[in-house]
């Protein structure tokens, strides 16, 4: 699926350097296909991304369609 694949790629690209320089947690409230809550954690040592709520409170919450999310990251 496009959303899950996008988060898989993001997860694979995350590094300690990104966490050290970004220090942010992003939550995405997506509507449409594969809608729901997704997140990118560039703040904690786990540096994780995926479906569900982030492990800590998000610094940024964005609401958009799943189609727009895929466009944004491609």
Domain ranges for the chain, please list them.
2-72
Please tell me the predicted confidence (pLDDT) of residue 74.
83
Residues pairing with 25 in the sheet? 41
Please tell me the predicted confidence (pLDDT) of residue 31.
97
3-state secondary structure of 64: strand
Tell me the pLDDT tens digit for each residue of 56-69. Answer: 999 999 999 999 99
User: Are β-strands 49-51 and 60-65 bridged in parallel, bridged antiparallel, or unpaired?
Assistant: unpaired
Phi, psi of 14 (to 5 degrees): -75, 140
Q: With helix as H, strand as E and coil as C, how does 36-56 read?
A: EEEEEEECCCCCCEEECCCCC
Tell me the pLDDT tens digit for each residue of 11-69. Answer: 999 999 989 999 999 999 999 988 999 999 999 988 999 999 999 999 999 999 999 99
Statement: residue 1 has pLDDT above 90: no
Statement: residue 73 has pLDDT above 90: no
The architecture of the domain spanning 2-72 is 2-Layer Sandwich (3.30)
């Amino acid at each position: 699926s496009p959303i899950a694949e996008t988060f898989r790629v993001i997860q694979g690209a995350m590094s300690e350097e990104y966490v050290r320089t970004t220090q942010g947690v992003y939550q995405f409230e997506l509507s449409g296909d594969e809608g729901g809550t997704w997140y990118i954690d560039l703040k904690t040592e786990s540096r994780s991304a995926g479906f569900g709520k982030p492990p800590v409170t998000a610094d940024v919450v964005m609401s958009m369609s799943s189609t727009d999310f895929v466009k944004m990251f491609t």
